[in-house]
């Protein structure tokens, strides 16, 4: 039990309370991974639970691998027997065994979003619909949203409200596309990512014997990042835990930021209603960040109404104030960030990897990348084009997929004439139509090419089928690496790339060699019992964004805030803090939307360990136009005691090393007029500014003066304080009580 001495009292309570429903509310940086790890080790080591009876669900394979490694160090190799992984990987594993019960082959293909979009484009074209109205992205998003809410195509078509929505959106054929999409997936022996969860629900609903088997197997069920679960994921875990009731969920409602993927914050907010005898423990001590960062983050999230109340605290040092930096343009913002990193690296002997630059949308990276390149600072973009999304990799993977599952229509279309073998689009379309019209598996049509295609094309298709059959024989006899090497050579793909002597061609050839290296590594890994090509393909298909591309270079990390969750860096820049960008103009339709954006700001702020920067620009190029910008409303919500407003000169103004100088109070946000009507409706009615409202110069503001604020209304100044170049006013407002505002930041009208 000595290992439990490493835990604080709340963490220890979460570890030791093993039976019955448990909810662990884990604040940012509170050591939740350690708690989950120790909890599983405690079940195995102290409680004598068989590791095979423990199911632990995470959202990235990387998190699962890290946890497994830590548990092994505590409880020994027995920990390898726990069922641990992402929702998709664990349920794909179950579906491989049980797929026949719902009519799928056990070697079903898993379609990624590119495969799905390609199939949707094909269906839209076949239905002679306008592809500008039925855009593949939008259609896939609509279908995905339905599946995450467990709405089948039949239920979709029979729901009058859904039908009315589609008609109002001028997309009345959406239900028919959904039906055809599912039909084509089924015939191709394929599932998309959402199907892995949807079909697990169907399996458990229609086959109670299967459900009972897994209920008895999984006596303890644990779910990490519970705030990110959707309805489908929640119902699966609830069903699995229904017999033993030993369900433990870990999460932080303040970090629920994936509603656009179907995540439902109500799962964590309402968990107690489903389990009245729930044991709740709150992990509120932050081990990651300085006091200043923790207090600023608390002041941000405190503005949300839908939340489980907790008070995150830390015993870490106060640390430096958060720097708030104003730039005249997005290009200047990039230069300021790059030069600040250069300066901090040299002054504090930091590595590139100690820095992260977080933004709301990927398009913001351009100006920052240019500035970093000019300063010769190495950087990497997370969430850019993944290794497994590159064309040459997808081409070879498609060959392997089709050899494993010759019903895979999308893989077939990709490889049938690559490298070129004289089979044109017309011939390919004839084969696909024949399979569809005769309700015959695609592979049967391909094997009988001459019956459907006349002359030379029929013979060429037969040659292709013969090659695939040879690959299938190899799959039965040899491991994944040996088969992949054979396919790469005999398909002609390696030769095609080798003969392209351009720099790009050489890179593509090297990328394919790197894929073969990855397959060899997979085969040589003693933890992978199944070394077949099918098993490798499943593992790759189930990689999450955070698992792709092992890049160990010492580099500054650039990424969207959504990609940053779960990570930490010594210094973090949150850039582009402007209205309509962050919060996004797409997320101002409701309080729920705005609160999700605020949670996103909270997540960004809590990635920082030692130093945090907020930056905004007064002008920014967006959609090809130069726009005037105003500071984000979120900046007003940060505790002013945590902020230091800085004006940093760019290299244009002063060559060489950078100096920072304080910004006089009057040159902060004064004079930048916000649109009061853009504010969300509050439970307490916000003040409507006077018709003649115009911010005053507050340099000489005195105690006892009356002022008007555009949001808080009328109030009396209680006191004025000066800290360095920051000037603060404490004001007693009539309806909103006492507020402390930075004068360089607040917009106040002095009433004579």
Neighbouring residues of 398: CB distance < 8 A, sequence distance ≥ 6: 410, 411, 414, 415
Judging by DSSP bridges, how do beta strands 619-622 and 660-662 pair with one another?
Answer: unpaired
Selecting among 12, 18, 33, 380, the annotated active-site residue is 33
Helix/strand/coil for 613: strand
* Residue position matching structure tokens 């999304």: 389
Q: CA-to-CA distance for 139 and 154, rounded, in angstroms? A: 16
607 is catalytic: yes
Tokens linked to 666: 């009057």
CB 268 within 8 A of CB 587: no
Rounded CA-CA distance 143/178 in Å is: 6
What is the strand order of the sheet 247-251 is part of? 83-86, 54-58, 220-223, 247-251, 22-26, 279-283
Q: Which helix (H) or strand (E) holds 139?
A: helix 136-148
Instruction: Identify the sign of the CA torsion 247, 252, 253, 255.
Output: negative
Cis peptide before 384 (omega within 30 of 0): no
Q: Which helix (H) or strand (E) holds 110?
A: strand 109-111
CA–CA distances in Å: residue 648 to residues 324, 558, 610, 668: 10, 21, 20, 13
Active-site entry in 10, 98, 112, 225:
225
Q: Furthest-apart CA pair in the chain: how many Å?
A: 96
Beta bridge partners of 646: 325, 662
Give the CA distances from residue 31 to residues 141, 228, 229, 378, in Å, rounded to whole numbers and listed in that order: 34, 18, 20, 30
Residue 16 CB neighbour total at 10 angstroms = 15
Active-site annotation holds for 472 = no
Helix (H) or strand (E) holding 723: strand 713-723
Nearby residues of 448 by Cβ (< 8 Å), 6 or more positions away = none
Q: Which of 58, 255, 292, 650 is catalytic?
A: 255
The answer to whether residue 112 is catalytic is: no
Whole-angstrom distance, CA of residue 317 vs CA of residue 384: 36
Backbone angles phi, psi at 191, to 5 degrees: -130, 145
391 is catalytic: no
Question: CB-based contacts of 352: which residues, under 8 Å, 6+ apart?
Answer: 345, 377, 378, 379, 554, 555, 556
Which entry of 98, 112, 224, 354 is annotated as an active-site residue?
Answer: 224
How far out from the chain centre does Cα 573 lie?
A: 19
Contacts of 574 (CB under 8 A, 6+ apart): 358, 359, 561, 601, 604, 605, 612, 613, 614, 615
CB atoms within 10 A of CB 732: 12
Q: Please give the structure tokens belonging to residue 269.
A: 């907010």
Please report which residue ranges of 169-290 form alpha helices under DSSP H.
174-187, 193-206, 208-217, 231-240, 266-269, 271-274
Catalytic residue chosen out of the listed positions 310, 413, 598, 607 = 607
Q: Where are the alpha helices (DSSP H) in 317-452?
A: 330-348, 365-374, 391-404, 409-415, 425-437, 442-447, 449-452
Angle CA 118–123–124, to nearest 5: 95
Phi and psi at residue 30, to the nearest 5°:
-95, 5
Judge whether 224 counts as a catalytic residue: yes
ω before 57 within 30° of 0 (cis)?
no
Catalytic hit among 10, 11, 32, 227 = 32
Active site residue 33: yes
d(CA 646, CA 724): 12
CA angle (175, 181, 185) in 5-degree steps: 150
Angle between helices 87-98 and 193-206 (to 10 degrees): 50
Supply the residues annotated as catalytic: 32-33, 224-225, 255, 607
């Amino acid at each position: 039990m000595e290992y439990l001495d490493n835990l604080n009292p709340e963490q220890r309570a979460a570890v030791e309370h093993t039976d019955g429903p448990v909810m662990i509310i884990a604040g940012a940086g509170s050591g939740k991974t350690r708690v989950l790890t120790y909890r599983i080790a405690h079940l195995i080591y102290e409680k004598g639970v068989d590791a095979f009876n423990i199911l632990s669900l995470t959202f990235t394979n990387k998190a699962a691998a890290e946890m497994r490694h830590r548990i092994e160090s505590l409880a020994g190799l027995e920990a390898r027997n726990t069922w641990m992984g992402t929702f998709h990987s664990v349920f794909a594993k179950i579906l491989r065994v049980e797929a026949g019960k719902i009519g799928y082959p056990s070697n079903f293909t898993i379609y990624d979003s590119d495969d799905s979009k390609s199939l949707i484009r094909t269906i839209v074209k076949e239905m002679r619909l306008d592809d500008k109205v039925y855009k593949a992205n939008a259609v896939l998003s609509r279908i995905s949203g339905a599946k995450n809410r467990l709405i089948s195509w039949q239920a979709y078509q029979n729901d009058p409200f859904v039908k009315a929505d589609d008609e109002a959106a001028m997309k009345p054929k959406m239900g028919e596309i959904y039906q055809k999409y599912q039909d084509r997936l089924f015939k191709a022996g394929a599932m998309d990512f959402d199907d892995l969860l949807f079909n697990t629900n169907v399996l458990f609903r229609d086959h109670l014997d299967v459900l009972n088997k897994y209920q008895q197997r999984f006596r303890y069920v644990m779910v990490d990042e519970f705030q990110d679960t959707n309805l489908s994921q929640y119902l699966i875990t609830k069903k699995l835990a229904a017999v033993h009731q030993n369900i433990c969920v870990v999460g932080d409602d303040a970090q629920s930021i994936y509603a656009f993927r179907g995540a439902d914050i109500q799962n964590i907010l309402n968990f107690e209603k489903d389990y009245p005898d729930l044991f709740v423990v709150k992990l509120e001590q932050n081990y990651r960040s300085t006091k200043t960062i923790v207090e600023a983050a608390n002041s941000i999230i405190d503005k949300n109404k839908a939340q489980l109340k907790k008070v995150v605290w830390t015993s870490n040092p106060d640390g430096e104030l958060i720097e708030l930096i104003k730039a005249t343009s997005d290009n200047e913002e990039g230069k300021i960030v790059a030069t600040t990193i250069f300066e901090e690296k040299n002054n504090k002997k930091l590595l590139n990897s100690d820095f992260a630059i977080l933004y709301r949308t990927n398009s913001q990276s351009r100006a920052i990348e240019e500035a970093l390149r000019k300063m010769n600072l190495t950087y990497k973009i997370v969430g850019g084009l993944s290794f497994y999304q590159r064309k040459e990799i997808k081409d070879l993977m498609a060959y392997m997929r089709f050899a494993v599952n010759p019903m895979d229509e999308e893989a077939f279309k990709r490889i049938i004439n690559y490298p070129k073998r004289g089979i044109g689009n017309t011939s390919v379309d004839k084969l696909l139509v024949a399979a569809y019209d005769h309700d015959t598996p695609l592979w049967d049509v391909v094997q009988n090419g001459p019956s459907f295609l006349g002359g030379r094309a029929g013979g060429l298709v037969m040659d292709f089928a013969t090659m695939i059959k040879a690959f299938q024989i190899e799959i039965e006899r040899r491991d994944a690496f040996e088969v992949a090497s054979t396919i790469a050579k005999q398909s002609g793909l390696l030769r095609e790339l080798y003969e392209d002597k351009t720099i790009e061609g050489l890179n593509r050839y090297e990328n394919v060699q790197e894929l073969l290296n990855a397959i060899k590594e997979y085969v040589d890994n003693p933890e992978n019992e199944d070394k077949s090509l099918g098993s490798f393909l499943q593992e790759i298909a189930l990689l999450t964004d955070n698992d792709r591309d092992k890049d160990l270079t010492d580099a500054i990390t650039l990424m969207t805030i959504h990609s940053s969750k779960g990570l930490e860096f010594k210094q973090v820049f949150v850039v582009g803090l402007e209205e309509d960008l962050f919060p996004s103009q797409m997320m101002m339709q409701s309080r729920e939307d705005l609160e999700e954006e605020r949670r996103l700001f909270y997540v960004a702020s809590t990635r920082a360990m030692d130093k945090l920067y907020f930056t905004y620009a007064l002008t920014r190029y967006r959609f090809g136009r130069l726009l005037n910008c105003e500071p984000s409303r979120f900046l007003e919500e940060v505790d002013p005691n945590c902020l230091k407003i800085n004006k940093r000169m760019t290299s244009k103004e002063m060559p060489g090393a950078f100096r920072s100088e304080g910004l006089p109070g009057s040159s902060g946000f004064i004079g930048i007029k916000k649109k009061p009507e853009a504010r969300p409706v509050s439970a307490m009615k916000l003040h409507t500014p006077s018709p003649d409202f115009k911010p005053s110069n507050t340099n000489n503001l005195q105690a006892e003066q009356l002022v008007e604020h555009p949001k808080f209304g009328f109030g009396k100044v209680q006191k004025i304080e000066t800290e360095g170049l920051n000037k603060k006013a404490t004001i007693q407002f009539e309806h909103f009580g006492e507020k402390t505002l930075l004068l360089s930041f607040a917009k106040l009208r002095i009433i004579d």
